[in-house]
Amino acid sequence: MIGKATTLSYKIDFDAAASDQIESALCVRLEQIRLSRNITQRALATEAGVSPRTVNRMASGKGISLDTFIRILSALRIQQNLSALLPDPTVRPIQRVALEGRERQRARPKGKAGSHGAWTWGDGDDQDD
C-alpha cells in the first residue's frame, strides 16, 4: 500500500494491475486533483457529504466505496468523466464515427421482397402428404 503519495506521480498500467492497485491509483489521482485545486480535505468532505476521515483514507490511497468515489467526483466537479469509464453499449465505436452527430438509422433490406427468389407459402417442392 502506498503512503502519502500526493507529491509523487502514481503511474499504473491498468491492463496489468490488480483491482486494489487500480483503486489506490484512482484515490491518489483524486487527491492530486484536490491539491491542484487548493481544496482542503475538510472542505472536500463537506462538499461531498462524507467524513474528513474518509477523505483522508482516500488521500493515502487506501480505497473508498463507489458511492464515496462518485460523491467526491461530483464535489470536484469532474463527474462527467464517468461516461468514459463505461461507454454507451447501444452504439458501437465504428457507428459513432459514421454517424458524425446524426441520429442513428435502422438497417433496411436491400431490393424488393420476393425479387431474389424469396420463399413464400406454397412455392416449395417440399410438400408433406
Tens digits of residue pLDDT in 113-126? 545 556 567 655 55
Confidence of residue 89 (pLDDT cuts 50, 70, 90): confident
Tens digits of residue pLDDT in 95-109? 667 766 666 556 666
Q: What is the mean pLDDT of residues 34-48?
A: 96
The three grid cell numbers given for residue 4, joined into one nine-digit string: 502519502
CATH code reported for the domain at 1-103? 1.10.260.40
Contact 2, 24 (CB under 8 A): yes
Q: Identity (one letter) of the amino acid at 3?
A: G
Ordered by start, the domain boundaries in the chain are 1-103
Q: What 8-state DSSP symbol labels residue 101? A: T
Q: What is the pLDDT of residue 86?
A: 79
Q: What is the pLDDT of residue 10?
A: 60
